Structure 1
Amino acid sequence: MQGFGGIHRMIKNIYCVGRNYLQHAKELNNAVPTSPFLFVKPTHALVEGQGQTIAMPKDQGNVHYEAELVVHVGKNYEPGMKAEAVIDKIAVGIDFTLREVQDELKKKGLPWLLAKGFPNSAVLSRWLPFEGLEGTAGHDFTLEKNGQEVQRGNIKEMIFDIPTIIEFCAQHFGLAEGDIIFTGTPAGVGVAAAGDHFVLKWKEEQVGELFIGE
């Protein structure tokens, strides 16, 4: 990844869209949102999947993987800007989640940060060229676990499309160069266990990988 060693300086805000694929909302028995539903992760959560082994939290219940298309904001947003003018590159990512912790937080009506913001919970592949919305919609992103495909998604399947997400982020939180957005996960999320090998793919080509530590 270009300059990934300085990622905590390069990337400012990490926005994440929840429940943005209908089948994923259904598989977790969540209500389908009527407007974009966002949460954030700290930059300490970021890690590039370069084939290394990463640590996951211990004794906090199951960690689930959630593969997502990630967009990088290359220019400060101004009202009316098209996605092609805002986004300069994309990646395939994994939003790792402490599922039981998240379930308890939901019951109490509390923010999800403890379930979503731990170190290594925001995985990115190498950066890839952004080919515009139409070009991006022409390809799927996939996640393989131990040699088996477990998730496949396409931005055409999103409940809220990328222009809607960009405008929502800008209006409510601000959106500027260096921000990234995890745009939501398709169906197929599951448990990430010690020793698991994950491969991120774009256009059926491997663009990132990692192992889960013991």
Structure 2
Amino acid sequence: MSIIRNIYCVGRNYSQHAAELGNDVPTSPMFFSKPTHALVEATGQAISLPGNRGDVHYEAEFVIRIGKPYAVGMKAEDVIDAIGLGIDFTLRDVQSELKKKGHPWLLAKGFPNSAVITRMLPFPGMDVCERTEFSLLINGERVQHATIREMIFDLQTILDFAATHYGIGEGDLIYTGTPAGVGASAHGDRMQLFWGDELLGECTLHMEN
């Protein structure tokens, strides 16, 4: 995998997902970030996650990689060089407590292996991205699926917002939000991420106590 600089994530970018967690639908993109230590490529191996901090929820996401420096006015097609799929793992009980206190989410979102990523594909163009469904299968059962056309904030809006408020550049990854269907993970779960009919990555979960 090429060098990754920043890992940005968009929260609540599918209205049905916001509803399933009882959250308001945002009126502007909601970003958080993960440390690069959170990133792990799903190549069929076992991935360790904390099993002693409450529920660990899976959140499958469409991921873009930035391939060149951004300048005002650039189109998404100009700066995205690759796409992939990811899982934003979340310590949901920890996150709920952080929300109550008004604290940042890093403890719930930034632990090692919390940013699973598949192999990346060359950017196929916006039309292909918008019409191709991505999905997550757990133990052979499809639990999440969507196209990015269902996102509240499209890729251009996400890029413009991130560039204005945080800066984006070559080597950055952006996890663009998860559709409905999130849930608790379990020890031994086999996770498979599909782009259309193509398997891009898979792993088995090992919950450590």
Give the TM-score, by structure 2 length.
0.98
How far is 1:24 from its partner? 0.1
Give 1:115's aligned residue: 108
How far is 1:64 from its partner? 0.3
* Count, aligned residues: 207
Give 1:130's aligned residue: 123
Structure 2: how far apart are the matches of 1:178 and 1:141?
A: 23
Say whether 1:181 aligns with 2:174. yes
CA offsets 1:81-113 (integer angstroms, 9 cap, x no match): 000101000001000000000000000111000
CA RMSD of aligned residues (A): 0.7
Structure 2: how far apart are the matches of 1:201 and 1:55?
A: 21
Structure 1: how far apart are the matches of 2:191 and 2:26?
A: 29
Residues 51-200 of structure 1 mapped to structure 2, 5 A cutoff:
51-200=44-193
Give 1:29's aligned residue: 22
Amino acid at match of 1:90: I
Structure 2: how far apart are the matches of 1:132 and 1:180?
A: 17
How far is 1:58 from its partner? 2.7
Structure 1: how far apart are the matches of 2:37 and 2:104?
A: 18
**Percent identity between the aligned chains?**
60
SS of the residue 1:168 aligns to: helix
Give the TM-score, by structure 1 length.
0.95
Note if contact 1:142-1:204 (Cα within 8 Å) is conserved in structure 2.
no
SS of the residue 2:128 aligns to: helix
Give 1:209's aligned residue: 202
